[in-house]
């Protein structure tokens, strides 16, 4: 059979010319990298760093200098010649450049260029340095996977040693305690349970304690009038809607009932309980204006009765009920006096904000409330909510963006006052946003005048240095911030405590190279990509790009990375798993550690993540695809024709 493909004439001189041009460009690139790295390192000149740490700092400086220019045209030309495109140089920058120069020199028949030697890691040494640093911070990896798994401890971990043991058995390598929640006695019990589980199972677990930092949150809300919502639920097995059961007890009676008897316990006056009989009804109009009834089922003992509601209702202490009984073929009222139930809970008011609404930020001493309306239903005063760290209010100016609850509500400062700031809502879901207490507030780009460590952080640090293996530095934004923390650790004699720099603001992102260079060699260091706050700060559209850049920079400094926020979050909270979250978890294998947040189904989420990381590490190592044999490529029986 004739070959009909067109013949392409090659120019014998072409490759040689291109080789020499590439060699010249690579030599020039090397000089640029050396000069740029030397200049950056002069800013961080120190005499207390040597050995591998100096190599890591130098390699990071080399990588930063390399990435100051657009290398894409050069990459394409190198790839056309079958040479390295410099796409995997992060952990060994100069070694990779020198390797390409060496190959081009041989292809050109040129003598050895006698390159200026530099204390840089080779290909294998760079990768090994990163592995060593990850082991220093997170401990040895598990046999089945190299990426570690960190789990945020729920308050239950202080009282449920079985939960902690189950987490450790299921693959947890590091436990995270958030100092923004709970208190010292709770943290101490958590740590005791973790250490007991370690000893029992014979495997280690590092403990990270996150300093709370100057996290600005919404303050408490006013209490709504006391009420109880009675809501029937569908049975998990059958899907049948089951009535909600209420125990009515005497004010002087026993309120602690055996599990499973009732969903709710309310208090009725003794004369009502005496007058009741099985089959009676309590008929009423609930707080929403709906006609509802409670059916009396059976006596509980003493004066108590069990009643049921088949439809959702909301009742309060002023809800007037009529005790009715079937008599003479009709429902007749048993007593003249209305029946009222007590024992209702006081819940926070509901504040729902829509696009264009006003919201006033105040100090935390004023509890949040919905807007106040006049007699005609017009808004007389806007909704308000207090914020923690209210001293930041004077630093806000008109036009400042404000994001609440991980970006679910967006607003813009419209007016400022001596003790308040008025916001106009610019971003909310179509059905509005439910504002709650203790939700994070982000102020992108604002100069807030807050120091790197709060008074609470300094107090908590005394406990952290005695009990933790890692300290999480929340809202670190500069090399100066890092120096403050390192001085506090040094003052407490914690010279070997690993630091996790949490990158969660735009300013921290811009200063990340300096944050790393100021710390490498002084304290073991890891970087946390706090993707929730970071997405609000830089925009969700840029997050995918930004997290890649952080991974690359950290690898350049041989610094391990924690991939954090919303990993398998739906599964941890509800037990269900979504395809986007599975894909996100698969991509996290490029980090040295992956963090799961707490939830009722955290053990299942942990086991799922463990399996995903185990499978994915055969396919991906940092930026490099791993060419494991593909199942789809294995030869099969020939197809039937």
| The predicted structure's pLDDT at residue 255 | 54
Q: What is the residue-averaged pLDDT of the chain?
A: 89
- Give the model's pLDDT for residue 495: 83
* pLDDT tens digits for range 466-495: 999 999 999 999 999 999 999 999 999 998
- The tens digit of pLDDT for each residue in 428-439 reads 999 999 999 999
So what's the pLDDT on residue 9? Answer: 44
Q: Flag whether 1 is in a domain.
A: no
pLDDT tops 90 at residue 451: no
pLDDT at 640: 53
Given a contact cutoff of 8 angstroms between Cβ atoms, the answer to whether 570 and 576 are in contact is yes
Sequence-separated (6 or more) residues with CB below 8 Å from residue 169: 201
> pLDDT tens across 166-195, in order?
999 999 999 999 998 999 999 999 999 999
Q: Is 138 helix (H, G, I), strand (E, B) or coil?
A: helix
Q: What is the pLDDT of residue 628?
A: 57
Name which of 415, 388, 417 is nearest 400 in CA terms. 415
Whose structure tokens read 């006609």? 291
- For residue 550, give the 3-state DSSP assignment: helix
CATH number of the domain within which 600 lies:
3.20.20.60
Which of 99, 121, 143 is the C-terminal boundary of a domain? 121
Residue 502 within a domain: yes
DSSP, collapsed to helix, strand or coil, labels residue 493 as coil
More confident residue, 204 or 257: 204
Give the SS3 label for residue 419: coil
The residues, any chain, with a CB within 8 Å of residue 452's CB and separated by 6 or more, are 475, 476, 477, 480, 481, 484, 485
Residue 596 Rama label (left phi>0; alpha psi -120 to 50; beta): beta
**Domain total of the chain:** 4
Distance CA(4)–CA(25), nearest Å, equals: 39
* CB atoms near residue 149 (< 10 Å): 24
- Whether residue 440 is predicted with pLDDT greater than 50 in this model: the reply is yes
Q: Hunting for tokens 């790839």 — which residue is that?
A: 79
Q: What CATH number does the domain containing 303 carry?
A: 2.40.33
pLDDT, tens digit (0-9, with 9 covering 90-100), for 108-126: 998 888 777 666 777 788 8
The answer on 164 and 114 residing in a single domain is: no
| 3 state SS of 29 | helix
Q: Flag whether 343 is in a domain.
A: no
Determine the average pLDDT of the residues in 532-559: 91
Instruction: Work out the pLDDT band at 237, boundaries 50, 70, 90.
Output: low
pLDDT at residue 641 greater than cutoff 60: no
Question: Are 618 and 585 spatial neighbours (Cβ–Cβ below 8 Å)?
Answer: no
User: Is 422 within 8 Å of 387 (Cβ atoms)?
Assistant: no
Q: Looking at residues 61-90, what average pLDDT do you find?
A: 92
pLDDT in tens, 269-311: 999 999 999 999 999 999 999 999 999 999 987 789 999 999 9
* Same structural domain, 601 and 477: yes
Mean pLDDT over 432-457 rounds to: 90
Q: Is the pLDDT of residue 361 over 70?
A: yes
Same domain, 37 and 154: no
Tens digit of each residue's pLDDT (9 = 90 or more) over 17-43:
999 999 999 999 999 999 999 888 887
Same domain, 597 and 474: yes
193: left (phi over 0), alpha (psi -120 to 50) or beta: alpha
Looking at the chain, the whole-number percentage of residues with pLDDT higher than 70 is 91
Query: Is 253 a residue whose pLDDT tops 90?
Result: no
Task: Tokens 């657009």: give the residue.
Answer: 70
Q: Please check whether residues 322 and 407 belong to one and the same domain.
A: no
276 lies in some domain: yes
In-domain check, residue 584: yes
- Of the listed ranges 307-316, 444-453, 573-582, the least confidently predicted one is 444-453
Is residue 275 located within the same domain as residue 315?
Answer: yes
Asked if pLDDT for residue 582 goes beyond 90, the answer is yes
**H/E element holding 152?**
strand 148-152
DSSP H/E element including 574: helix 569-574
Chain segment 499-522, per-residue pLDDT in tens: 999 999 999 999 999 999 999 989
Distance set, CA 113 to CA 19, 62, 89, 222 (Å)? 15, 20, 21, 75
**158 and 85 co-located in one domain:** no
Residue-wise pLDDT for 9-24, tens only, equals 444 556 889 999 999 9
- Say what the pLDDT of residue 288 is: 93
199 shares its domain with 238? no
* Helix, strand, or coil (residue 118): coil
Triad 611, 561, 458: Cα angle to 5°? 120
* pLDDT surpassing 80 at residue 49: no
CATH number at residue 409: 2.40.33.10
C-beta of residue 286 within 8 angstroms of C-beta of residue 314: yes
Does 5 have pLDDT greater than 70? no
Confidence of residue 133 (pLDDT cuts 50, 70, 90): very high
Which pLDDT does position 47 carry in this prediction? Answer: 41
Residues 77, 109 share a domain: yes
Instruction: For the chain, give the longest Cα–Cα distance.
Output: 116
In this prediction, residue 416 carries a pLDDT of 94
585 close to 563: Cβ distance less than 8 angstroms: no
pLDDT, position 617 = 87
The pLDDT value given to residue 54: 79
φ, ψ for residue 410 (rounded to 5)?
-115, 145
The yes-or-no verdict on residue 346 having pLDDT over 80 is yes
Q: Where among 82, 101, 121 does a domain terminate?
A: 121
Residues 545-549: what's their mean pLDDT?
92
**Residue 469: inside a domain, yes or no?**
yes
CB 217 within 8 A of CB 454: no
Q: What angle do CA 138, 139, 140 make, to 5 degrees?
A: 125
Say whether both 261 and 367 belong to one domain: no
Q: Radius of gyration (Cα) for the chain, nearest Å?
A: 32
Q: Determine phi and psi for 110, rounding to 5 degrees.
A: -90, 155
* Domain that residue 260 falls in: 228-333
Report the pLDDT value the prediction gives residue 10, as an integer from 0 to 100: 44
């Amino acid at each position: 059979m004739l070959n009909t493909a067109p013949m392409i004439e090659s120019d014998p001189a072409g490759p040689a010319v291109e080789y020499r041009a590439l060699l010249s460009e690579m030599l020039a690139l090397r000089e640029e990298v050396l000069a740029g790295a030397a200049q950056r390192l002069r800013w961080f000149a120190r005499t207390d760093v040597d050995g591998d740490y100096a190599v890591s700092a130098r390699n990071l400086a080399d990588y930063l200098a390399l990435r100051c220019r657009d290398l894409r045209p050069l990459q394409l030309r190198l790839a056309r010649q079958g040479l390295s495109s410099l796409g995997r140089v992060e952990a060994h920058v100069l070694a990779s450049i020198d390797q390409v120069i060496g190959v081009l020199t041989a292809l050109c028949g040129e003598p050895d260029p006698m390159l200026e030697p530099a204390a840089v890691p080779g290909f294998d040494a760079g990768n090994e340095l990163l592995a060593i640093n990850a082991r220093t911070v997170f401990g040895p990896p598990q046999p089945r996977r190299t990426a570690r798994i960190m789990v945020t401890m729920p308050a239950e971990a202080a009282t449920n040693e079985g939960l902690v043991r189950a987490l450790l058995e299921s693959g947890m390598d590091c436990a995270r305690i958030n100092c923004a929640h709970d208190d010292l006695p709770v943290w101490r019990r958590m740590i005791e349970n973790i250490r007991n589980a370690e000893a029992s199972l014979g495997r280690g677990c590092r403990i990270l304690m996150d300093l709370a930092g100057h996290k600005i949150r919404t303050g408490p809300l006013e209490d709504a009038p006391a009420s109880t919502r009675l809501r029937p639920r569908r049975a998990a097995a059958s899907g049948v809607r089951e009535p909600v059961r209420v125990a009515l007890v005497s004010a002087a009676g026993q309120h602690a009932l055996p599990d499973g008897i009732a969903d709710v316990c309310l208090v009725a006056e003794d004369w009502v309980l005496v007058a009741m009989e099985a089959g009676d009804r309590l008929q009423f109009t609930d707080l929403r204006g709906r006609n509802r009834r409670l059916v009396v089922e059976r006596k509980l003992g003493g004066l108590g009765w069990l009643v049921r509601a088949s439809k959702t209702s909301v009742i309060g202490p002023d809800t007037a009920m009529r005790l009715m009984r079937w008599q003479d073929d009709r429902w007749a009222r048993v007593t003249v006096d209305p029946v009222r139930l007590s024992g209702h809970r006081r819940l926070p008011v509901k504040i729902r904000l829509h696009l264009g609404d006003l919201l006033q930020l105040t100090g935390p001493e004023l509890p949040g409330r919905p807007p106040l309306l006049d007699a005609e239903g017009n808004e007389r005063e806007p909704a308000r909510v207090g914020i923690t760290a209210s001293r930041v209010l004077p630093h806000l100016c008109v036009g400042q963006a404000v994001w609440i609850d991980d970006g679910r509500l967006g607003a813009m400062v419209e007016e400022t006052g001596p003790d308040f700031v008025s916001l106009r809502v610019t971003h909310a879901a179509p059905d509005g946003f439910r504002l709650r207490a203790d939700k994070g507030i982000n102020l992108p780009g604002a100069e807030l005048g807050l120091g790197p460590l709060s008074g609470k952080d300094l107090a908590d640090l005394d406990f952290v240095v005695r009990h933790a293996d890692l300290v999480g530095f929340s809202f670190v934004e500069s090399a100066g911030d890092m120096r403050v923390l390192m001085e506090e650790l040094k003052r407490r004699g914690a010279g070997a405590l690993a630091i996790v720099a949490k990158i969660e603001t735009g300013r921290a992102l811009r200063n990340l190279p300096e944050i790393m260079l100021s710390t490498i060699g002084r304290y073991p260091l890891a970087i946390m990509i706090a993707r929730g706050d970071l997405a609000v700060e830089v925009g969700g559209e840029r997050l995918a790009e930004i997290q890649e850049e952080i991974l690359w920079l950290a690898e350049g400094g041989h610094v391990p990375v924690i991939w954090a926020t919303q990993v398998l979050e739906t599964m941890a909270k509800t037990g269900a798993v979504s395809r986007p979250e599975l894909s996100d978890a698969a991509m996290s294998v490029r980090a040295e550690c992956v963090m799961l947040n707490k939830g009722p189904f955290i053990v299942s989420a942990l086991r799922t993540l463990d399996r995903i990381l185990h499978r994915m590490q055969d396919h991906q190592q940092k930026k490099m695809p791993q060419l494991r044999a593909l199942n789809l490529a294995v030869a099969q029986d020939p197809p039937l024709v």
